[in-house]
């Protein structure tokens, strides 16, 4: 068996693993990258890229339906789901060269396309080769988990890994799970012509601000998505050529297809983690703030690290690991300015503390809001549903921000910067925002921090006093 001695060995060619491998190789470290499946991992092939591509197709269809509000001929569009499929996979193909074996070999990375398994604390076997490395990086990601619903294993169902392979729209899609993936796919499929029912054990989007979730819920219902929240599923079973979900109260929901979007589990199986002395569970491997596992030679990034499961977090983790491994700097993760976005229409974006978290952590907070119906650009584009909500301390320190509305994922970024750089609310309030833009809503929310003092009796008295001097 051949042996490779290298500085860094990365297991997993998803977002985090690719970032570590590219950075390490370009900085002069000898690097081996092991991937048993498709380069680009979940995000490129089964997650962010195809889902946002399908969402874009659904938005295009919805724009045609509602074009009449602008005086343009709005009508029910014809949906060619086969061409939607081609659009989705065309986007994947356009991005794939950035993540390809050829590109990474061109950067000097040794790529091994095989299963990788630890055989000891500092050795991995893959494709008939033994790799000995100074440091290893686990970047194996996660996959859709299968909830323990009676009958689920006996029926065909879709996950994010298979739903984008369809070339025909489902007649009636039943979605189990009302988190971001579930509601995004529910709305996209509804807009592309399918009937859709979402079954959720609690409230949809439970990690987000309930006030803002209500706006998303209203749009989903208006689109024709049937939401069944606070329900328990007793079992699922075949119904002719389709699927039936039986609720605990006896209600029977029949559909043509089933999509399971009820959480994720880390890919830790078959890696020989025991041989390397690495503690792990179905949630991922145990890591410290520097992303080191219980084997100090081995780091973990992305979903397998057991933290927030976002592609941008995997990229952030990669930077932390590079600083630790290559530059011996004790860099640590800091999630105080962690953003996330649900790409429904309207989008729902968040960074920092939610209102509930802020009230739990601080005795006195200020809640600043501004509705999009008060924004001139939103009025011009007939997209007035939504609001900006910002949480601060009485001294103006920004604790968190949430936005529901058009392009919320773009608008949240100024708040990410503000929180990460520890700016106070005055920095946003005094910013000059171009007119007319949706971003003005954030500036107006920030400005409302000063409204009580600015228009108080004391201020009016001061203005009258100063007027006596001419």
Residue 283 burial by Cβ neighbours in a 10 Å radius (0-12, 13-18, 19+): middle
Angle at 95 between CA 89 and CA 97, to 5 degrees: 115
135: β partners: 8
116 is an annotated ligand-binding site residue: yes
Cα–Cα distance between 300 and 295 in angstroms, integer? 11
**Residue 49 backbone phi and psi in degrees, to 5:** -65, -55
303 is an annotated ligand-binding site residue: yes
132: β partners: 5, 123
58 is an annotated ligand-binding site residue: no
177 is an annotated ligand-binding site residue: yes
246: β partners: 235, 252
CA distances from 126 to 14, 21, 37, 141, 198 (A): 17, 17, 13, 18, 41
184 is an annotated ligand-binding site residue: yes
52 is an annotated ligand-binding site residue: yes
178 is an annotated ligand-binding site residue: yes
CB 147 within 8 A of CB 263: yes
140 is an annotated ligand-binding site residue: yes
Q: Which segments of 328-380 does DSSP mark as H helices, in order? A: 355-361, 376-380
141 is an annotated ligand-binding site residue: yes
CB 24 within 8 A of CB 321: no
263 is an annotated ligand-binding site residue: yes
Which stretch of DSSP H or E encloses residue 341? strand 339-342
Q: Which residues are annotated as a binding site for FAD?
A: 52, 116, 140-142, 303
Which segments are annotated as binding site? 52, 116, 140-142, 177-184, 263, 303
**Could you tell me which residues are annotated as the binding site for NAD(+)?**
177-184, 263
């Amino acid at each position: 068996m051949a042996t490779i001695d290298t500085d860094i060995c990365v297991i997993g060619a998803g977002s985090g693993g690719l970032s570590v491998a590219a950075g390490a190789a370009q900085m002069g470290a000898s690097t081996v990258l092991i991937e048993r499946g498709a380069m680009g991992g979940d995000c490129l092939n089964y997650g962010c890229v195809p889902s946002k591509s399908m969402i874009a197709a659904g938005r295009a269809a919805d724009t045609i339906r509602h074009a009449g509000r602008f005086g343009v001929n709005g009508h029910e569009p014809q949906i060619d789901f086969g061409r939607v499929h081609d659009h989705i996979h065309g986007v994947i193909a356009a991005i794939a060269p950035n993540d390809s074996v050829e590109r990474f070999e061109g950067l000097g990375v040794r790529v091994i396309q095989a299963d990788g398994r630890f055989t000891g604390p500092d050795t991995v076997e893959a494709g008939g080769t033994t790799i000995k490395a100074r440091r290893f990086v686990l970047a194996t990601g996660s996959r859709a988990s299968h909830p323990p619903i009676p009958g689920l294993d006996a029926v065909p169902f879709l996950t994010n890994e298979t739903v984008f392979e369809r070339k025909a729209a489902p007649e009636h899609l039943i979605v189990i799970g009302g988190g971001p993936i579930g509601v995004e796919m529910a709305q996209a499929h509804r807009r592309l012509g399918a009937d859709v029912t979402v079954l959720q054990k609690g409230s949809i989007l439970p990690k987000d601000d309930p006030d803002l979730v209500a706006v998303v819920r209203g749009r989903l219902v208006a689109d024709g998505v049937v939401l069944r929240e606070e329900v328990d599923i007793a079992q699922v079973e075949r119904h002719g050529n389709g699927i039936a979900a039986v609720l605990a109260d006896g209600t029977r929901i029949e559909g043509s297809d089933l999509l399971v979007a009820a959480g994720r589990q880390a890919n830790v199986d078959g890696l020989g983690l025991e041989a390397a002395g690495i503690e792990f569970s179905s949630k991922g491997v145990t890591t410290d703030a520097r992303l080191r596992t219980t084997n100090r030679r081995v780091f973990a990034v992305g979903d397998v690290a057991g933290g927030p499961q976002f592609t941008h977090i995997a990229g952030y983790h990669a930077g932390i690991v590079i600083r630790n491994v290559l530059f011996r700097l004790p860099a640590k993760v800091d999630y105080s300015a962690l953003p996330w976005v649900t790409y429904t229409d309207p989008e729902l974006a968040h960074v920092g503390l939610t209102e509930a978290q802020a009230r739990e952590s601080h005795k006195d907070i200020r809640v600043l809001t501004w509705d999009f119906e008060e924004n001139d650009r939103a009025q011009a584009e007939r997209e007035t549903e939504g609001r900006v909500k910002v949480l601060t301390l009485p001294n103006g320190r920004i604790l968190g921000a949430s936005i529901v509305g058009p392009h919320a994922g773009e608008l949240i970024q100024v708040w990410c910067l503000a929180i990460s750089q520890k700016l106070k609310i005055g920095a946003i309030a005094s910013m000059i925002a171009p007119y007319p833009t949706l971003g003005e809503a954030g500036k107006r929310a920030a400005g409302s921090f000063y409204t009580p003092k600015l228009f108080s009796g004391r201020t009016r008295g001061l203005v009258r006093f100063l007027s006596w001097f001419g």
